[in-house]
Amino acid sequence: MYLPTAFEELRPEILQKLMRENGLATLVTVAEGVPFASHLPVSIEGDAAAGTLRIRGHFARANPHWQQLADGAPVLAIFHGPHCYVSPSWYADAESVPTWNYAVVHAHGRAALLPPDDLRAHLRGLVEAHERAFDKPWRFDSLPAGLVDEMLGALVGFEIAVERLEGKLKLSQNRPPEDQRHVREVLAASTDPLARDVAAWMNLLAR
């Protein structure tokens, strides 16, 4: 990933925050020179600062992509944060051009396939993490045991041991402070929830 110094983010806690808040990852591998990508819900476990960061997810068994992970081949998981258009009319200098603000993390590592018990635990944890915000959470264990076993047979779980994180938060850091402030204000007042999320990340960096 192209990483200009102004946009490079190195703090593990910031990178992991973005990963956890954007749990649909794009998983990329290369086999015989051809890239293959899948878009998968994942869970984040461990901590990058301690060298224990892991990404767990699952494929439909019918998706042939999982076969490229069986031998520990290198993989890239991309986490896309909020993004939005930025108009030059928001800058003090009229002689500027439009751009796009965004936040993204690339997680590099090697994958291994999960045994059935670990796949079951991953699915239960993933469901619980997303259901807990609801008034009446659906429980993974509410399914009949036979149906769960049938479902597990149609899935393949994986775990990525993360070796390196790259973070790019392109959030107007290359603009003068007054421009940054005005961009944040415009985006925070937007009716577009993505734009408001970008403003929130800009505010986080401004602290």
DSSP 168-181: EEESSTTS-HHHHH
User: Which residues of the chain are modeled with pLDDT < 70?
Assistant: none
What pLDDT, on a 0 to 100 scale, did the predictor assign at position 206? 85
Residue 178: what pLDDT? 96
| pLDDT at res. 142 | 84
Cα(183)–Cα(189) distance, rounded to whole angstroms? Answer: 10
Return the pLDDT at 61.
97
- Give residue 125's pLDDT: 94
**What is residue 73's predicted lDDT score, i.e. its pLDDT?**
85
CB 168 within 8 A of CB 79: no
pLDDT value at position 148? 86
CA angle in degrees (0–180, nearest 5) for 113-114-120: 150
In angstroms, rounded to a whole number, what is the distance separating the alpha carbons of residues 171 and 188? 13
State the pTM of this model: 0.94
* Residue (of 109, 104, 78) closest to 167 by Cα position: 104
pLDDT score at 164: 96
pLDDT at 141: 83
CB 11 within 8 A of CB 169: no
- What the chain holds in terms of domains, given with CATH numbers, is 5-200 (2.30.110.10)
**pLDDT computed for residue 144 by the predictor:** 87
Residue 30's pLDDT is what?
94
